[in-house]
Amino acid sequence: MLGRIASFVLALAVTATSSIAQEREFLGYGWLLTNDLIGDGKDRWRTGSIATSRVWGRGWDGSLPGTFGDIIEFRFGGEIIAPRDLDDSGPGDRPYAGAMSWGLHTHVQRGATSISTGADLVAIGPMTGLDDFQSWLHDLVGIPGPSASVRAAQIANQWQPRAVIEIGRDIDLGPGGRLRPFVEGRAGDETLLRAGFDFTFGGFGSGDLLVRDWVTGQRFRAVGGQEPGVSFVAGADVAKVFDSVYLPSNRGFQTTDMRSRVRAGLHWQGEKSAMFYGLTWLGEEFAGQSEGQLVGSVTLSIRF
């Protein structure tokens, strides 16, 4: 049954993107890989994820259109969430979870305000195969993967919808500097309200379509990126969390009332290549989590 549902979701995504491609031109692609191995070096909690975006539209002139649906973004991503110890989660530690998501989003500009909104379908549990993938990857490098007991206690198979909206406004701070306060609402696998800001010093983001990674809040480029140079980015946000399927209350878990993130990174843009490395501090997410964690994010783009 789950296999038939997965096949239907994939077929629907292919049909939707094929229809989009017929009406619009392909504008760009972006991705961001996040892992705590390139952060604090530990294998725990929000341990690894990848976010990808493919964008279609009726041309790109460096600014967002004013009509919903003119820009269509197809998102695909995956994430592994783990307890502190992959061998034994221990009492009170969060359960293992694997999640994969597919979604369609759109971006518009209304005056000085930009709006990004859309919906995803999230597959959660062992049906994603992410526990098998992590075990294979750990075996490959010779370190222990998730134990049988950790895998047995993971979040069960389920499908969750996710709706997302973000509203922000760029403020010019003078030569090279921009500040972007934003608010975000999410409902579905995790339900929360978030407020924060992004700061950029340099050309990154100017004339680009940027997409926000849901784990770290780091933004990556999906369209644009022709001006060589180095840019520094930073940001922070705080969220009021109402519910999370990854921390089920019926299993005794309690989410922290507020969830914080602080991030920084460097973007380098060359003539034909671009690179990014960033660090994000993620605050505690559940009662019993002893401390926050530091994760690293990377992306690389090479044009031939």
Half-sphere exposure in the Cβ direction for 91 (13 Å, CA) = 0
User: What is the distance between the alpha carbons of residues 57 and 188, in angstroms, rounded to a whole number?
Assistant: 27
Nearest CA to 93 out of 150, 12, 174 is that of 150
pLDDT at position 79 over 90: yes
Q: Which amino acid is it at 138? A: H
Report which listed range, 22-26, 198-202, 205-209, is most confident: 198-202
- Return the pLDDT at 22: 60
Average pLDDT, the chain: 91
- Asked whether 43 and 82 are in contact (CB, 8 A), the reply is yes
pLDDT-derived band at 24 (thresholds 50, 70, 90) equals: confident
Q: Are 216 and 265 in contact (CB under 8 A)?
A: no
CATH 2.40.128.140 given to domain 2-302: yes
Per cent of the chain over pLDDT 70 is 92
What's the DSSP call for residue 83?
-
DSSP H stretches of helix in the chain = 2-23, 130-141, 148-152
Q: Tell which residue, 220, 177, 169, has the closest CA to residue 196.
A: 169
* Bridge partner residues of 171 (DSSP): 179
How confident is the model over 235-255, as pLDDT tens digits? 999 999 999 999 999 999 999
User: How confident is the model at residue 8, as a pLDDT?
Assistant: 42
Residue 1 reports pLDDT greater than 50? no
Indicate the helix (H) or strand (E) that contains 177.
strand 177-187
pLDDT at 301: 87
The pLDDT assigned to 159 comes to 97
Q: How would residue 160 be classed by pLDDT, with cut points 50, 70 and 90?
A: very high
- Residue 21, pLDDT above cutoff 80: no
The pTM assigned to this predicted structure is 0.90
